[in-house]
Amino acid sequence: MAVDLATVRRIAHLARIAISDAEAPALQGELNAILTFVEALEAVDVTGVEPMTSVTPMKLPMRDDVVTDGEIEPQVLANAPLTEDGFFVVPKVVE
């Protein structure tokens, strides 16, 4: 699949990227190179290859799922301009 200059301008418009007329041919070449690479990847036979999440086999470390508040409530509340009974006090925004 080859990309023409009109398609390059349309892609740039859809991506909200301003390109000049001088930049369009260079972008056309880059897009065509990318599509050629993707076509080459599609030609690779991957029958029987299992999907991988990493190129090296690894097991993610597991930890206990424990809920904690970080025990830093006083430091967090110290950032607020106004607090009351351990909570932030904010102005009423709903009538």
Domain count for the chain? 1
The answer to whether the CB of 86 falls within 8 A of the CB of 73 is yes
19 lies in a domain?
Answer: yes
77 lies in a domain?
Answer: no
79 lies in a domain?
Answer: no
pLDDT at 53: 80
Q: What does 11-28 look like in DSSP terms, one character per residue?
A: HHHHTT----TTTHHHHH
Domain enclosing residue 33, as ranges: 5-42
55 lies in a domain?
Answer: no
22 lies in a domain?
Answer: yes
Digit-coded pLDDT (tens) for 14-43:
999 999 999 999 999 999 999 999 999 998
- Contacts of 4-8 with CB under 8 Å at 24 or more apart are 4/28, 7/31
- Please state whether the predicted TM-score (pTM) of the whole model is above 0.85: no
Dihedral pair phi/psi, residue 45, rounded to 5°: -85, 115
In whole angstroms, give the CA distance from residue 7 to residue 10: 5
Digit-coded pLDDT (tens) for 32-74:
999 999 999 998 999 998 888 888 888 888 988 888 878 888 9
The answer to whether the CB of 3 falls within 8 A of the CB of 31 is yes
Q: What does 53-95 look like in DSSP terms, one character per residue?
A: S-SS-------------TT-HHHHHHTSS-EETTEE-------
pLDDT at 52: 84
Predicted confidence band of residue 1 (pLDDT cuts 50, 70, 90): confident
80 lies in a domain?
Answer: no
